[in-house]
Amino acid sequence: MAAAVRLFPAVTLVLLSPFPAAVSLRRDVLELGDAEFDYLATEHETMLVKFYAPWCGHCKKLSPEFEKAATRLKGSVQLAKVDCTTHSETCGRFGVSGYPTLKIFRYGRDSAPYDGPRTAEGMFQYMRKRTGPDSVLLKTKDDLQTFINNYEASIIGVFPGPGGSGPVEFLKAAALLREQFRFAHSSDVKLLEQQGVDSECVLLFRPPRLSNTFEDSVVVFRDQLTIASLRRFIRDHMYGLCPHMTLENRDLLRVRDLLTAFYDLDYYHNVRGSNYWRNRVMKVASKYSGRGLMFSVANKKDFLSELEEEFGLGTSDGGELPFITIRTRTGLKYTMREEFTRDGESLERFLEDYFSGRLKRYVKSEPIPEKNPAAVKVVVAESFDDVVNDPDKDVLIQFYSASCPHCKKLDPVYRELAHTLYSDPNIVIAKMNAVDNDVPLGYNVQGFPTIYFSPVGKKEEPIRYEGSRELRDFLKFLKREASRSLMLIGSKDEL
């Protein structure tokens, strides 16, 4: 007997959205327009919005990083974008005057400008710290494990008894420092019995990926808890013997003299390989701890442009072996020219030379000119001491860039000044390309041209020239500041 078959007519469903097609649900970045911005923005506790223009080069560069960050933040922070060329009303309402502009919204209200990194990792870390409570309540061991099994360090307060100032101070510190560190708390000491916890305390868990045999992964704080004391404790113990330096934390690490091993480090995809070289650096670091030098490791690809510009490292230099540098707080730089050996002996020799003062600092410099006959003397980093710091000469030094239009405009006036003073044996008019040469300490060059006067007897206190850039103005300045009377070619009416 044949089975009965019931036939239903084909049905086509058409879902009509009350909003224009500008709203896209296909991607993790929500596209918003004037009509739906207020309605949809209020649905999200935290939203990072990019205001952009399609023709903007910086916007195009940011776009793939923004998409990656949106995927990683999905479920906690909504990322959205507004095209200001077609939705100018919304952009004008929030004071957008340049592209891209990033703003943080909370339930649809403009909360704060986004001033963090513009890499996917940087946006992920920055925004994740701005969601949820200041300190997470841990109730179970699974809660604890999930919290500490993180890319960053974890600070956990344990407060088993009622009352007392400890919990209050801890939560105040968490509210104040949440953008820098991760906080959680619990009243159950059994959750942390493996760490020997039996009373009120604070524990700092270093990231699991950085676990090693040279130091403890957990540090316990048992002193009187105040915001200041907790901040000091975190600062002194968070990074450990050899932290992972990133583009986001480099400024925090570089407040100290810092040795860094740059190599193909990738803690997302190759923890074991990344720690292979780190452990060899740490073995040496453990022998030199307490001598004022901090150690770190970093992904060479993340810092390649910096290494090329500041240390002359080519894209193919170093191979798979770590490239070792030291950068001091005062700006001195050193590189290890010997190949990094797996037993660490080459690194130890490098450090012995550094601490004994035998190590020659690295200076990025053009070649010293074989001939320098022009009235304006060409100075490079390697010749700076000989020319500018000559104890018997007053020196006016211009720091310039070859591509700077203001420098090109100044050039004829500066050459005329040099010719005017050419016969004066006591003064030198000089210039240095500050892009291709390291600028010495004591000279703050943030733009071009920047001009300093280095007088006899005060070489450690150069004077920045802030006057007009005409011949007469330069001569008046030099007449006032020079250690000896000027000897001019031509008429003295210039003065």
Q: How far apart, in whole angstroms, are the C-alpha atoms of residue 37 and residue 41? A: 6
Give the pairing of strands 258-263 and 323-327: antiparallel
DSSP 391-403: TT-EEEEEEE-TT
What phi and psi values does residue 260 have, to the nearest 5 degrees?
-130, 135
The crossing angle, in degrees rounded to 10, of helices 166-177 and 227-237 is 60
210/447 Cα distance (integer angstroms): 40
3-state secondary structure (DSSP) of residue 306:
helix
Spatial CA neighbour of 488 closest among 418, 395, 397:
418
Q: How far from chain centre, in Å, is Cα 380?
A: 28
The C-alpha angle 371, 375, 381, rounded to 5 degrees, equals: 55
Which tokens sit at 103? Answer: 């703003």
For residue 59, indicate whether it is catalytic.
Answer: yes
**Can you tell me the distance from the alpha carbon of 417 to that of 205, in angstroms, rounded to the nearest whole number?**
63
Q: Catalytic one among 59, 84, 201, 242?
A: 59
189: nearest Cα among 215, 217, 220: 220
Number of H helices, E strands in the chain: 14, 20
The per-residue DSSP string of 110-147 comes to: EEEE--S--SHHHHHHHHHTTSS-SSEEP-SHHHHHHH
Distance between CA atoms of 137 and 146, rounded to whole angstroms?
Answer: 12
Tokens linked to 20:
């224009």
Q: Which two tokens stand for residue 175?
A: 């509210």
Write down the catalytic residue from 91, 201, 242, 407. 407
Q: How far apart are CA 63 and CA 181, in angstroms?
A: 27
The amino acid at residue 152 is E
Whole-number Å distance between alpha carbons of 418 and 429: 6
Q: Please, are residues 79 and 28 in contact by the beta-carbon 8 Å criterion?
A: yes
Three-state DSSP class for residue 57: helix
Active site residue 84: no
User: Which residues are identified as catalytic?
Assistant: 56, 59, 404, 407
